Structure 1
Amino acid sequence: MIEQNDICKKFGFNVKVERMRKNYTQAYLAEIMNVSVTYISDIERGSQNVTLKTIEKIANALNVDIHKLMYFD
C-alpha cells in the first residue's frame, strides 16, 4: 500500500513534469489556476494534499488527462 505522503510526492512530481513539458513556469500555472505560486510549489514538492477538484483544475490548466497526473509507477 502506498503511503499518503508518497502519493502526494508522486502526484507533485507528475505535475512538475507536465508543467515543464509545456514550458510553463510555476507563476504561469498559478496564474491560469488563480492560485498562489506558493501553492503550486507546495503541490510539486508533495507537501500539499490536494482535492479532486484541484486535481481536475490542474489537469485542465495543463491540458492533460487526469490519469497522466495520477499514474504512479
Structure 2
Amino acid sequence: MKNNLKVERAKKNITQAQLADMVGVSRQTVNAIELGKYNLSTILALKISRVFGISVNEIFELEDSDLEP
C-alpha cells in the first residue's frame, strides 16, 4: 500500500513520535507504516486521517499488488 504519511506529517510539522502518541502506537509502527512494511487496521487509518483532517484515501492508496489473493 502506498501512502503519503511522511508528506502529510511534514506539512503539519509533526514528528513520527508525536503522531504515534496522538494515535496510540509506537514511533516504530509509524515508521513501518511510512515504509510500507506494516498493514494498519481500519481504526488506525481513521485515527491518522482525523489527525490530519483529510480522508483515509488522501493518505493511503491501494496498489494492484494489494488486490492479489
Alignment of 1:16 with 2:6, yes or no, is yes
| Superposed displacement of residue 46, structure 1 | 0.5
2:60 is matched with: 70
CA contact (8 A) 2:33 2:39 kept: yes
Alpha-carbon deviation of 1:32? 0.7
Task: List gaps (5 residues or longer) in structure 1.
Answer: 1-6
Which one has a larger percent strand, Structure 1 or Structure 2?
2
* Percentage of identical aligned residues: 34
Across the two proteins, how many residue pairs are aligned to each other? 63
Q: Give the TM-score, by structure 1 length.
A: 0.75
Once the two structures are superposed, the pairs formed by residues 22-41 of structure 1 within 5 Å of their partners are: 22-41=12-31
Question: Structure 1 stretches (4+) deviating beyond 2 angstroms?
Answer: none
**Alpha carbons 2:9, 2:15 under 8 Å: kept:** yes
- Paired residue for 1:3? none
Residue 47 in structure 1 maps to residue 37 in structure 2: yes
Richer in helix (by share)? 1
- The more displaced of 39-48 and 62-71 is 62-71
Q: How far did 1:70 drift?
A: 2.9
